[in-house]
A = this chain, B = another copy of it.
């Protein structure tokens, strides 16, 4: 950056001369001194660029110049070609280039439990499968293996930033950094003994150590992860809030997911989950409330007042029969709404294209109105909306000069994508994770033409298959 700035100052004199010559008609434009080109690290050129910027600009075709971690220009290919020279040029023809997808709620290592048990009542599923499996298998090694597997899947399906709540979150952070993904990661704080902490206060201490270790990291935003209002008491929730305030980090929490939670909250507090959290001063702009299914119209003003962020998880809410979050109302109220996949034990994958399509489908069905949650709205929730929920809207979520270079190339050349009248429609209604060809995070190419560059794919898969044997034994 310093070099570039110095260069632009040096260039002022010749440019001024050229301008004077032109105004005087002394020379033809062809005789101008060629504009000096700026050296950058990567140019992505030739695709349809869906920027999701404030004007929702779409360049067809477009190009992007990236220098180091940062997007320096988004423009027509010929303009980028004339202004920049890149160490690496990626041909994006036949693809849509869009901001990397932001998954606002998951539990990455739970990919190790995907498909372990499905189609069960929630309590059977938890008590016969998930809790026994977690009790017997969750360890630092397990979490590393699962996070690596999840990272492969996320890179391979276009997720560039993810918000996570699990145990041994420091292990997840290390894997995330190695994989090159951006993460908003919170240690789970829960009111009963967990794999990494016997008590909520031990969990909070671990969480604080975690925050200190990663607070200056380029890719990791450490967060606090109080599990929910029904698994923590008032003290646990308020301590979590204080910890998040002290370090100015996000608070990740499940809220109003199920009818049972609603019932529990009413019995214990004579209030809904959101009303209770508001009453104890928990809500605020740093809160990422996952699910928010059971929310009355009269509760939305308090979410607006506190600037609480919403993570909508349509697939998990459908598969677990939790219910339908009032997303069209959240959007009308101007709340920050992002999309999430939830953990792969309850989805069963981490594909944000499915989350986009499901959000569009679900709310059309529930409202009886096919105009609700259109394709553009689904793309916004999966990109800039998610960034806003995580407090990263100035850093990621759109393709604009000055933002970090988190972007993906989505193939549009197959039979399923032919013809293409509208790229935004195709991103939501026909694209799938495996269509992502190339994934770039923070200016680093993590996957090129579906080849993983930051992780050893075969080794990660082999480790995961080995670890799966332990899971099988745990639920036998």
Residues on A lying within 8 angstroms of B by beta carbon are: 111-112, 114-116, 118-122, 125, 149, 152-153, 156-157, 259, 315, 317-321, 323-324, 347-351, 358, 360-362, 364-365, 367-372, 374-375, 413-416, 418-422, 425-426, 429-430, 432-435, 457, 460-461, 464-465, 467-468, 471-472
Contact = CB atoms under 8 A, between A and B. Distances in A.
A115 B421 contact: yes
Given A418-B149, A460-B415, A370 B319 contact: yes
B434 A432 contact: yes
Contact of A375 (B118, B321, B371): B118
A468 B435 CA distance: 22
A158 to B, nearest CB: 12
A230 to B, nearest CB: 19
A183 to B, nearest CB: 17
A49 B122 CA distance: 30
B156 A414 contact: yes
Nearest to A317: B365
Given A114-B419, A149-B418, A360-B319, A429 B156 contact: no
A341 to B, nearest CB: 11
A465 B419 contact: yes
A73 B360 CA distance: 44
A349 B318 contact: no
A252 to B, nearest CB: 24
B415 A461 contact: yes
13 contacts: A114-B421, A115-B425, A119-B360, A153-B414, A156-B415, A318-B362, A319-B370, A321-B367, A321-B369, A348-B425, A419-B465, A419-B467, A432-B434
A114 B361 contact: no
Given A115-B419, A116-B422, 16 more contacts: A115-B421, A115-B425, A119-B375, A120-B371, A121-B369, A121-B370, A149-B418, A153-B414, A315-B361, A320-B364, A320-B370, A321-B368, A321-B370, A414-B434, A432-B432, A434-B435
A145 to B, nearest CB: 10
A416 B429 contact: no
Contacts of A460: 415
Contacts of A362: 318, 365
Query: 9 closest pairs, A vs B, by CB?
Result: A419-B468, A119-B374, A152-B415, A318-B361, A115-B425, A348-B429, A153-B415, A321-B370, A318-B365
Nearest to A347: B429
A256 B418 CA distance: 31
Nearest to A369: B321
Contact of A364 (B153, B319, B370, B415): B319
Contacts of A472: 421
A93 to B, nearest CB: 14
A250 B86 CA distance: 61
Contacts of A156: 414-416
A317 to B, nearest CB: 7
Contacts of A125: 370
Contact of A416 (B153, B413, B415): B153
Nearest to A469: B419
A429 B115 contact: yes
A119 B422 CA distance: 12
Contacts of A464: 418-419
Nearest to A154: B415
Contacts of A365: 317-318, 321, 323-324, 362
A389 B360 CA distance: 30
A292 to B, nearest CB: 16
Contact of A430 (B152, B348, B364): B348
Contact of A115 (B320, B426, B471): B426
Contacts of A429: 114-115, 118, 319, 347-349
A425 B318 contact: no
A445 to B, nearest CB: 18
Contacts of A425: 115, 118, 348
A16 B436 CA distance: 61
